[in-house]
Amino acid sequence: MGQILHGSATTTEAVRRAIQNSQESLRALSKRYGINQKTVAKWKKRASVADLPTGPRDPHSTVLSLEQEAIIVAFRKHTLLPLDDCLYALQPTIPHLTRSSLHRCLQRHGISRLPDVEGDKPAKKKFKSYPIGFFHIDIAEVQTAQGKLRLFVGIDRTSKFAYAELHTEAGKMIAAQFLRNLIAAVPYKIHTVLTDNGIQFTNRARDKYAFHHIFDRVCDENGIEHRLTKLKHPWTNGQVERMNRTIKDATVKRFHYDDHAQLKKHLADFIDAYNFARRLKTLKGLTPYEFICKQWTSQPDRFIIDPIHQRPGLNTRTN
């Protein structure tokens, strides 16, 4: 961990530096680091271990001339026609113009999207509002150099408070323990959880004679309503799906981890920063924990403990 790698990187800066300083053959280095000999040769020739920038230095069309691009840009800005209408109108003047070359031209000049016109789109429906304590829960897969891990994530629909754990397995007993840990970590009462229909959370339809699922038993013990998403409708649980992506973008998709311990530490740091320091537009500029503390003043009956006591750092109160 410590360097930012692009998505297709097969080496770290430390490996690249070792290749440049080594006197071994390309074949030996290739076998040692599990990479292609061409990759070894490439880093042998370079003086730096940083990735080179990709893409053209001066983006320009290989199909259109500067005069033709100027015609396209002027036409688009003047008419504000959609892409296909622009194509059909300009093709008599520029016969070799294709839809893809027209789109790339508009993108280069920052006019590929037309300005929104009031009334041309239906108004977005707002999510049904719930009091704090409605958690979306899901499982995702992440990986380090040591192997795969299962990422359990829960996020409050209203406060956006997030809780996450990493496990080597994703069985129903682990899912039930995750729920118990989530209940203990939250300073207020959880009244509803929403999960998919995975076997970690509920019995399959054909298992009608099976025992009451352990996850449901934990819900019953704590007075929690367990809701399930519709089959083949993963977007019903979209809030936690989006949180999964946010966590991955900040961790495994951005950094290399030599072992599980590095990822677990970084994940804990990220979740703390998210809950206590990240200001969210949907919460009107508050952090998730600031929102929770605000709810404590207006709805104290929903809380188990004073959330101010769980803030990081020194907690001092005067009477």
pLDDT in tens, 214-227: 999 999 999 999 99
Q: Would you say 228 and 202 are in contact if contact means Cβ atoms under 8 Å apart?
A: yes
- Sign, CA dihedral 169-172-173-175, equals positive
pLDDT confidence band for 123 (50 / 70 / 90): low
Tokens of 27: 């074949």
pLDDT in tens, 149-179: 999 999 999 999 999 999 999 999 999 999 9
Tokens of 233: 């409708």
Instruction: Calculate mean pLDDT across residues 125-134.
Output: 79
pLDDT confidence band for 260 (50 / 70 / 90): very high
pLDDT in tens, 17-56: 899 899 899 999 989 888 999 999 988 898 888 887 776 6
Amino acid letter, residue 81: L
Q: 127 to each of 138, 163, 282, 288, how far by Cα in Å?
A: 19, 21, 12, 18
Predicted pLDDT of residue 53: 74
- Given a cut of 90, is residue 61 above it in pLDDT? no
- Given a cut of 60, is residue 317 above it in pLDDT? no
Predicted pLDDT of residue 120: 57
Instruction: Calculate mean pLDDT across residues 266-281.
Output: 92
Burial (CB count <10 Å: 0-12, 13-18, 19+), residue 218: buried
Q: Would you say 259 and 146 are in contact if contact means Cβ atoms under 8 Å apart?
A: yes
pLDDT-above-70 percentage for the chain: 87
Query: Is the domain 134-310 a CATH 3.30.420.10 member?
Result: yes
- Given a cut of 90, is residue 3 above it in pLDDT? no
- Given a cut of 80, is residue 318 above it in pLDDT? no
Give kind and range of the element (H or E) at residue 140. Answer: strand 134-144
Q: Is the pTM of this model over 0.75?
A: no
- HSE-CB at 227 with a 13 A cutoff on CA atoms is 12
User: CB neighbours (10 Å) of residue 50?
Assistant: 9
pLDDT-above-90 percentage for the chain: 54
Instruction: Calculate mean pLDDT across residues 134-163.
Output: 94
Which position has the higher pLDDT, 150 or 9? Answer: 150
Predicted pLDDT of residue 160: 94
Closest alpha carbon to 243 in 269, 217, 214, 274? 274
Predicted pLDDT of residue 319: 42
For all residues of the chain together, what is the average pLDDT? 87
What is the rounded distance in angstroms from the CA atom of residue 135 to the CA atom of residue 185? 13
Predicted pLDDT of residue 125: 64
Closest alpha carbon to 280 in 269, 292, 291? 291
- Given a cut of 50, is residue 58 above it in pLDDT? yes
Q: Which residues pair with 143 in a beta bridge?
A: 148
Predicted pLDDT of residue 117: 61
Predicted pLDDT of residue 72: 93
Give the start-to-end residue ranges of the domains of the chain. 14-45, 66-108, 134-310
DSSP code, position 303: B
Helix extents (H) in 80-142 = 83-90, 99-108
Find tokens 């009031």 and name the residue: 118
Q: 110 to each of 34, 39, 70, 102, 265, how far by Cα in Å?
A: 42, 36, 13, 12, 41
